[in-house]
Protein backbone atom coordinates (compact mmCIF):
# COMPACT_ATOMS: atom_id res chain seq x y z
CA UNK A 1 0.00 0.00 0.00
CA UNK A 2 2.72 2.47 0.98
CA UNK A 3 4.74 1.97 -2.21
CA UNK A 4 1.64 2.35 -4.36
CA UNK A 5 0.77 5.58 -2.56
CA UNK A 6 4.33 6.91 -2.98
CA UNK A 7 4.26 6.04 -6.68
CA UNK A 8 1.03 8.01 -7.01
CA UNK A 9 2.83 11.14 -5.74
CA UNK A 10 6.02 10.50 -7.77
CA UNK A 11 4.58 11.73 -11.07
CA UNK A 12 7.84 11.62 -13.05
CA UNK A 13 8.65 8.15 -11.65
CA UNK A 14 12.24 9.04 -10.69
CA UNK A 15 11.96 7.47 -7.23
CA UNK A 16 12.12 10.88 -5.54
CA UNK A 17 9.54 13.49 -4.56
CA UNK A 18 10.28 16.95 -5.94
CA UNK A 19 8.97 19.96 -4.07
CA UNK A 20 6.09 20.26 -6.56
CA UNK A 21 5.22 16.57 -6.26
CA UNK A 22 5.27 16.85 -2.47
CA UNK A 23 3.08 19.95 -2.47
CA UNK A 24 0.51 18.68 -4.94
CA UNK A 25 0.51 15.11 -3.68
CA UNK A 26 1.34 14.79 -0.03
CA UNK A 27 0.68 18.25 1.42
CA UNK A 28 -2.50 18.88 -0.55
CA UNK A 29 -3.92 15.51 0.49
CA UNK A 30 -3.94 16.74 4.11
CA UNK A 31 -5.11 20.30 3.31
CA UNK A 32 -8.74 19.30 2.77
CA UNK A 33 -10.07 22.85 2.42
CA UNK A 34 -7.22 24.01 0.12
CA UNK A 35 -6.40 26.90 2.46
CA UNK A 36 -2.63 26.40 2.13
CA UNK A 37 -2.45 25.55 5.83
CA UNK A 38 -2.87 22.20 7.57
CA UNK A 39 -5.22 23.27 10.35
CA UNK A 40 -5.98 21.44 13.60
CA UNK A 41 -8.88 19.29 12.30
CA UNK A 42 -6.81 18.27 9.25
CA UNK A 43 -3.74 17.56 11.38
CA UNK A 44 -5.54 14.57 12.91
CA UNK A 45 -5.12 12.76 9.60
CA UNK A 46 -1.38 13.51 9.67
CA UNK A 47 -1.19 12.06 13.18
CA UNK A 48 -2.92 8.88 12.05
CA UNK A 49 -0.42 8.43 9.22
CA UNK A 50 2.62 9.12 11.41
CA UNK A 51 1.68 6.56 14.08
CA UNK A 52 2.57 2.88 14.19
CA UNK A 53 1.40 1.18 11.03
CA UNK A 54 0.60 4.52 9.37
CA UNK A 55 1.83 5.63 5.95
CA UNK A 56 4.93 7.40 7.34
CA UNK A 57 5.84 4.65 9.85
CA UNK A 58 9.34 3.42 8.99
pLDDT digit string, tens, across residues 17-41 = 899 998 888 888 889 999 989 999 8
User: Given this model, what pLDDT does residue 33 score?
Assistant: 93
- Is residue 55 in a domain? no
Dihedral sign of CA atoms 20, 26, 28, 31 in order: negative
User: Given this model, what pLDDT does residue 14 score?
Assistant: 95
Task: Report the SS3 class of residue 22.
Answer: helix
pTM of the full structure: 0.60
Residue 6: DSSP 8-state: H
User: Given this model, what pLDDT does residue 45 score?
Assistant: 84
Task: Report the SS3 class of residue 43.
Answer: helix
Give the span between the Cα atoms of 26 and 11, in whole angstroms.
12
- Is residue 32 in a domain? yes
- Is residue 56 in a domain? no
Tally of domains in the chain: 1
Alpha carbon separation from 21 to 3, 5, 26, 50 (Å, rounded): 15, 12, 8, 19
Structural domain span for residue 29: 2-8+15-50
Rounded to an integer, the average pLDDT of 51-57 is: 78
- Is residue 58 in a domain? no
Amino acid sequence: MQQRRFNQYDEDEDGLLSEDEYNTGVYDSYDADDSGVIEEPEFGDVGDDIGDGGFWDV
